[in-house]
Amino acid sequence: MAREFFGTDGIRGRVGVHPMTAEFTLRLASSAARVLAPNGGRVVIGKDTRVSGYMLESALEAGFIAAGMDVLMLGPLPTPGIAHLTQAHKADLGVVISASHNAYYDNGIKFFDGQGAKLPDSVEEQIEAFLVDPAITRESNELGRAKRVDSAREDYQRFCISTVPEGLRLDSLKLVVDCSHGAGYKVAPRVLSQLGAEIVPIGCSPNGKNINDGCGSTSPELLMLTVQGVRADLGIAFDGDGDRVLMVDQQGNLVDGDQLLYLLAAARQRANTLKGPVVGTLMSNLGLERALGELDVAFRRAPVGDRYVIEMLREAGGELGGETSGHLLCLDKTTTGDGLVAALQVLSVIAQSNASLAELVKPMPKFPQTLINIRTAQRVDVNSSEPIQEAVADAEQHLADRGRILVRASGTEPLLRIMVEGEDETEVNAVARSLADGIQALTAA
């Protein structure tokens, strides 16, 4: 059964447009309860800082209570914090209200199971199957209850600090921290301050509409300038829901998820603590694969989406993986991608090695890579489109063994994402532009 609403990271869309409505959200809660807690149970609900979070939170609360579930309201908290607290409160499921790196007028809903892991496709399909039915309303003596968890932020902060070596201090580091006016705006600066770092916060004043607006991991330019301007040791950028992290070195250069993944893998390899292969995605830079090869570290590629990286890590017995965008996975520390926990692991390596961020990522070359997004009227199945496959084959023949090409549909938006990577930047750009123009004409026809 094909999923109609769930993408690679839950359900996402424009607020007020189906499915991001109060009515749909209430039915979604009811459907999730039927699948994951048919006899009642407990659910935790958290959100980021979007103004629409209030509406969707209330709809979810009503749907779960009507279905006989007790609801724990966590308030604004990073997505991985909700995954952790789902386990800590022994809940049957956790729900996050967030559209991650999207603008404020979008929102989304994603689920964790009782172990704090994202749901497999098969379970999401079961939830969708119940969406055609009206929401459940049980009798009064079977209804659930709701309460706010005032300790949620402090509980998550303590967990984050527990993931670094005991006694580790960051007193020597001056950090610019950009929280994207999002879910981590309180947690991240406080955790880093507690560990002794000097903090210069930006993107930490949410108003419901400024999330991801010119800041955070999707717009790191302000962070790059600020790091140089205040002479910080490095900068840290999170996205709106706190599951991504990118960094900026002392010279103001952006350090992406591939480079951070290399840094962590190399440190673990030196310490003889690296388990299993490192897992990236089809989008991971070829430089990461080659640099890890120099260290005799096995590298595998999963489909795009941190859920698929997690699946491959578990299948292969690995612990470390991630995406170029900054979704980093340390499965010995967390069950899902956690921007703050990943940042703490990087900072631990820096503090213990007495080396700078730039020095630690220098051994990894970055091959020129061009990304072009094409907006389509509706979602396109790339694999079943012969004209698109022929266009890609022609471009691959031109590029030969000097690089690689990937065309994929976005899992959350009506976009086709074109990636061309190779040894020569001029050639890469030319091939990408030609291929994008060709596919644009095909999809417009």
Mind listing the domains of the chain with CATH numbers?
A: 11-150 (3.40.120.10), 156-361 (3.40.120.10), 369-444 (3.30.310.50)
Other Cβ atoms within 10 Å of 219 Cβ, number: 17
Whats the size of the chain, residue-wise?
445
If you average pLDDT over every residue of the chain, what do you get?
95
Percent of the chain residues topping a pLDDT of 70: 99
Q: 198 pLDDT band (50/70/90 cuts)?
A: very high
How far is it, in rounded angstroms, from Cα 240 to Cα 236? 13
Model-level pTM? 0.90
How far is it, in rounded angstroms, from Cα 208 to Cα 45? 18
Q: How much is the average pLDDT of 365-386?
A: 86
100 catalytically annotated: yes
pLDDT of residue 445: 53
Q: 332 pLDDT band (50/70/90 cuts)?
A: very high
Could you report the per-residue pLDDT of 126-141, keeping only the tens digit for each?
A: 999 999 999 999 999 9
Q: How much is the average pLDDT of 354-372?
A: 95
pLDDT of residue 400: 85
| pLDDT > 90? residue 2 | no
* Alpha carbon distances (Å) from 173 to 23, 186, 195, 203, 247: 48, 19, 10, 20, 14
How far is it, in rounded angstroms, from Cα 19 to Cα 326? 28
Could you report the per-residue pLDDT of 201-254, keeping only the tens digit for each?
A: 999 999 999 999 999 999 999 999 999 999 999 999 999 999 999 999 999 999
Could you report the per-residue pLDDT of 39-63, keeping only the tens digit for each?
A: 999 999 999 999 999 999 999 999 9
Q: 3 pLDDT band (50/70/90 cuts)?
A: confident
Cis peptide before 277 (omega within 30 of 0): no
How far is it, in rounded angstroms, from Cα 409 to Cα 391? 15
- Sheet containing 198-202: order of strands: 198-202, 174-178, 234-238, 245-248, 254-255
Q: What are phi and psi of 360, to 5 degrees?
A: -75, -25
Q: Which residues pair with 248 in a beta bridge?
A: 235, 254
Q: 376 pLDDT band (50/70/90 cuts)?
A: confident
Query: Comparing 97-101, 346-350, 351-355, 407-411, which segment has the lowest mean pLDDT?
Result: 407-411
Alpha helices in 286-377 (DSSP H): 286-294, 306-316, 339-353, 357-361
Q: Which of 30, 31, 100, 180 is catalytic?
A: 100
More reliable by pLDDT, 281 or 412 = 281
In 3D space, the residue among 261, 401, 383, 379 whose CA is nearest the CA of residue 6 turns out to be 379
Contact indicator for 116, 39 with CB cutoff of 8 Å: no
The helix/strand/coil state of 80 is helix
Contact indicator for 110, 95 with CB cutoff of 8 Å: yes
User: What are 90's two structure tokens?
Assistant: 């022994």
127 alpha-carbon distance from chain centroid: 22
Place of tokens 């090869």: 293
- Sheet containing 278-281: order of strands: 299-302, 278-281, 320-322, 328-330
pLDDT of residue 412: 67
The helix/strand/coil state of 164 is coil
